Structure 1
């Protein structure tokens, strides 16, 4: 039990040393990640649609 308590105390001590991003940085990073995810989702949806149509044309 002592080892577990020591572990969590150490975790708390290390977390105080972390350099957390400011609100503006965090917002910027979040927007960047969301825009990237949306871009790739649309990109792969278009590629998938194109390949599906190509296969349909070949098989008909």
Structure 2
């Protein structure tokens, strides 16, 4: 239980008001490695292709379940 209380105290000490919070945010953003244009294009293509594949999959599953329900209710 003392561990959880200490976590809360550590968070309060690290952010001394709004300016401390903004300062910490800026320090963390400087550590971020941003993707370049080629990587971003690749990531976008992966996401779009995944969406298309999943949309087709769920469409086919929906059609199969619809046919199954129609077959059962006849």
User: Which TM bucket (shorter chain)?
Assistant: 0.7 to 0.9
TM score, norm. by length of structure 1: 0.88
Matched with 1:41 is 55
| Counterparts of 1:59 and 1:17, CA distance in 2 | 60
Aligned to 2:43: 29
Aligned mates of 1:21, 1:46 — CA distance in 2: 35
Q: Structure 2: any 5+ residue segments left out of the alignment? A: 1-15
Distance in 2 between the 1:36 and 1:46 partners? 15
RCO higher in structure (CA 8 A, sep ≥6): 2
TM-score (norm 2): 0.73
Partner of 1:20: 34
Q: How many residues align?
A: 59
Moved segments of 4+, more than 6 Å: none
Name stretches of at least 5 consecutive residues in structure 1 with no aligned partner.
none
